[in-house]
Amino acid sequence: MNNNYKKLTTSRITISELMLPSHTNFSGKIHGGYILGLMDQIAFASASKYSGKYCVTASVDKVDFLNPIDVGELVTMKASVNYVGNSSMVVGIRVTSENIQTGKIKHCNSSYFTMVAKDENGTTVSVPRPLITSLEEVRRFHKTLKRINFRKRHNQNQENFNYTSSEAYETLKSLNVKVDL
């Protein structure tokens, strides 16, 4: 049993970056892939800071781009470890952008990255157990646990669904999809 505990607050990181024209997509807004790259970096930093280990991205939960980001806005990302397993950590990330001339702040997206701690040989290693010190951390930990359990149930249902059943074909038909195999 691991008796090594660490405060989740040690994982908190905030980064800010001014968005430049080189970060834009074809419509002139900041490219979502660029933002995802920054999110991956802060998830790595947060998980590595908490665990004291090199961490890799195992999965990224749903990412919804809620508001576009414009050139010249200051993007701020806040990350913290919300949940700790044996070797994995779920890092919550909140992305906002600020128009630095008007001060208007927009929530652009939030996401959850599952990070796994590795040793120098690339072998998965245990991480410190979480020491929760606030009601907000309790809330985040439980919400993450619910998401994990929901995803497990969803994946199990997907595995058990027969995609060649008459039910599957009727669903496609009701959506005006033509199947020609």
Examine residue 75 and state whether it is found in any structural domain, yes or no. yes
Q: Phi first, then psi: what are they for 85, rounded to 5°?
A: -100, -145
> At 53, which CATH number?
3.10.129.10
Examine residue 61 and state whether it is found in any structural domain, yes or no. yes
Q: Domain of residue 13: give its range.
A: 5-132
Q: What is the pLDDT at residue 166?
A: 82
Residue 31 pLDDT class (50, 70, 90 cuts): very high
DSSP code for 29: S
Residue 162 pLDDT class (50, 70, 90 cuts): confident
| CA 60 to chain centroid | 5
Mean pLDDT throughout 24-50? 97
Rounded Cα distance, 132 and 144, in Å? 14
